[in-house]
Amino acid sequence: MTLFLSIFITLLLIFLNKKLNIGSDLTDQSRKVHESPIPRIGGIAVVTSFFISILINHEINLFYFYVNLLLILFFLFVLIEDVKGVLKPSIRLSAIIVCSFLLVLELDLSISNLGIPILDSIIENPTLSIIFTTLSLSLLTNGFNLIDGFNGLAGGFSIMVLTVLTMVANDLSYTDMSSLSSFLLMATFGFFILNFPYGKIFLGDAGAYFLGLTTGIFALLITQRADDLSYWFVLALFIYPIYELVFSIIRRTLNKKTKTYLADDSHLHHLIYKKVVNCSYFPRKEFCNSATSIIMILLASSSILPAYIWIDSPVALFSICIIFMAIYTSIFLKLK
């Protein structure tokens, strides 16, 4: 049901955009890889179908009223940016940090053991653990927005991550988390069908932030509940958007001509689009756009699939993160 509901709402949003010009893309022209106006409010379909599924199936024992309300309010606040384009980066970042902090407190999320003695001695302190967990969740949420640059990229990545989380929850017999993950998986897939490959609609900042924040919460909850799961599993699962953000901050800091907080078109997916994908081979420009996403999703899968295979080995999971960062960096430097 969630899938069909998401598809229906996505089609409705596309129709309303054509008739009333609601939520058209306001992205800076220099970073656009599409020509005609596209609605960037696809997150509405994902969020609406997800929460309707929760209510209908009564899966509110974990995602109870306060958490639902907080996520919805956060989504609606950032949606202002997708519709009006008036929220400064600092305001969005503040909203992410505040929402992450409140969710960490409400759900009692805590990253307190990474197997690194020096770091563990610091985050064993409850207050410092809350701060560390909040910043980690905020980092992930921002990273999701950075990778949302091409048709199907953020959506496809989310689908892979949610599939793994659903399988892990099933393996551990966490029926509530399995249901929640599968609801969000189907809600995302419904949007994905109309986002890839033709790019009829985009997630928008609100949709990308919501997926990053919610999938991060799911991963932390599952890992925290399982005694034999390492938090390196979470990092290996999300290393692509996290490293994309960290690498971008370092890159912009080193480049004195670029302000750290401003978006640019020098991410790896932009370089792949410009220097690897030959658009002359494609009959339509959106196919060239989507081919870039396929390449990046394949790169991301190099950490997601091994993370599930070696889920019980912290050493392997740590190695997966190091290998991915090395591959990402080498490809970037080669193309740049």
Rounded to two decimals, the pTM is 0.93
Q: At residue 58, what are phi and psi to the nearest 5 degrees?
A: 60, 30
Q: What is the pLDDT of residue 23?
A: 73
How far apart CA 252 and CA 266 sit, in angstroms, is: 10
The pLDDT tens digits of the residues spanning 175-209 come to 989 999 999 999 999 999 999 988 999 999 999 99
Instruction: Indicate the number of domains in the chain.
Output: 1
Q: What is the average pLDDT across 219-246?
A: 94
- Band of residue 162 on the pLDDT scale cut at 50, 70, 90: very high
Reply yes or no on whether the pLDDT at 28 is more than 60: no
- Host domain of residue 292: 2-335
Beta strands in 180-320 (DSSP E): none
- 114, 232 contact by CB (below 8 A): yes
Q: What is the mean pLDDT of residues 233-250?
A: 95
Residue 257 has pLDDT above 80, yes or no: no
Q: Which two tokens stand for residue 149?
A: 């640059």
CB 236 within 8 A of CB 320: yes
**Radius of gyration, CA atoms only, the chain:** 19
